[in-house]
Amino acid sequence: MSRTLIAYFSRKGNNYVSGDIVNLSKGNTEIVAERIQELIGGDLFEIETVKQYDQDYTRCTQEAQEELRTKARPELKTEVKNMKDYDVICIGFPNWWGTMPMAVFTFLESYDLSGKRICPFCTNEGSGMGHSEKDIKSLCPKSQLERGLALRGGSVNHARKEIESWVANLQQ
């Protein structure tokens, strides 16, 4: 595969998994990002916001819903210094309210991704990709958007075959 960046936004700690609120030591999307890196190499980049979301799951979802409603663009802690060097951007996120967290919108809007392949992957608890692919296409109209991978957050530790199959399709 060409020079690849695996950028992801993930939430550890208080999370909704398989109908229960549980405390995760590592976020589901981060686990998937690391598996993708194991399979294809590339560089990992965690998308982090300056202002942290509430640790409580319910309050965090309320913050996320308000950001979506107001089309907020949260400030990010760091940036990719050499984005021009990457040909492929694997972008990972949890599905928040039917799309990507607004921090991922900030990330995608921060760079000229023209001509790059964008390969989205998302974790969710039943809502799949939502309309995130449509949103990515709208944000990055001059990029080549690949079909996304949607995984149930509660099953990421057992999703190796699904990840391998998605990666194999990207490499064709």
The range of the structural domain enclosing residue 108 comes to: 4-170
- The per-residue pLDDT for range 65-95, each reduced to its tens digit, is 999 999 999 999 999 999 999 999 999 999 9
- The per-residue pLDDT for range 3-12, each reduced to its tens digit, is 999 999 999 9
Point out the residues of the chain with pLDDT beneath 70.
Answer: 1-2
The CATH number given to whatever domain includes residue 137 is 3.40.50.360
Q: Which of 81, 83, 103 is nearest to 93 (CA)?
A: 103
State the pTM of this model. 0.95
Beta partners for 145? 118
Number of domains within the chain: 1
- Residue 6 contacts by C-beta under 8 Å, 6 or more apart in sequence? 33, 36, 37, 42, 43, 44, 45, 90, 92
Judging by DSSP bridges, how do beta strands 144-145 and 117-124 pair with one another? parallel
Structure tokens at 111: 């760079």
Q: Which of 71, 68, 73 is nearest to 97 (CA)?
A: 68
Cα dihedral value 156, 158, 161, 163, nearest 10: 10
Query: How many Cβ atoms sit within 10 Å of the Cβ of residue 18?
Result: 11
